Homo-oligomer: A and B are copies of this chain.
Amino acid sequence: MTSKAGIEQVLKEASMRVTQPRVAVLAAVTANPHADTETIISAVHEEHPHVSHQAVYDSLKLFTSLGVVRQIQPQGHIARYETRVGDNHHHVVCRRCGHLADVDCSVGASPCLHASDDHGFQIDEAEVIYWGICPDCQALNS
């Protein structure tokens, strides 16, 4: 679903108005997985130079709230976005360079979904972030 028609479809199905800025933002997130807001703004500007950063922020926030995109924000990093949603996958982050990659958890489809003592919380999501050193940064060290 990378085509413009496919993207408009997604917006309509989520009962959003189909606007140029929204189509451009969703296309940019799809084309640039794990991109931060600035990267998305730049990507959007390539075809639509007049779209404001506020529109991009608004769109990303709306998409996130509707579950169309997912926001990832590891400690000490700014927000990033991806369109791969709803499949309970997690992320590895490099402590050195911040590089980010997808991982599926080894424990099955719904890993770690239950805390031993939930303190009465109604838990609906377990977010896992793995921390380590990426291959490139390992190479730099040796």
Contacts and interface: CB of A to CB of B under 8 A. Distances in A.
Interface in A127-142: 127-135, 138
Count copies of this chain in the complex. Answer: 2
Interface stretch (A7-15, A27-35, A40-48, A106-114): A106-114
A106 B111 contact: no
A90 interface: yes
Interface in A90-142: 90, 92, 94, 101, 103-107, 111-112, 114-135, 138
Interface residues of A, number: 38
Interface of A: 71, 73, 75-76, 90, 92, 94, 101, 103-107, 111-112, 114-135, 138
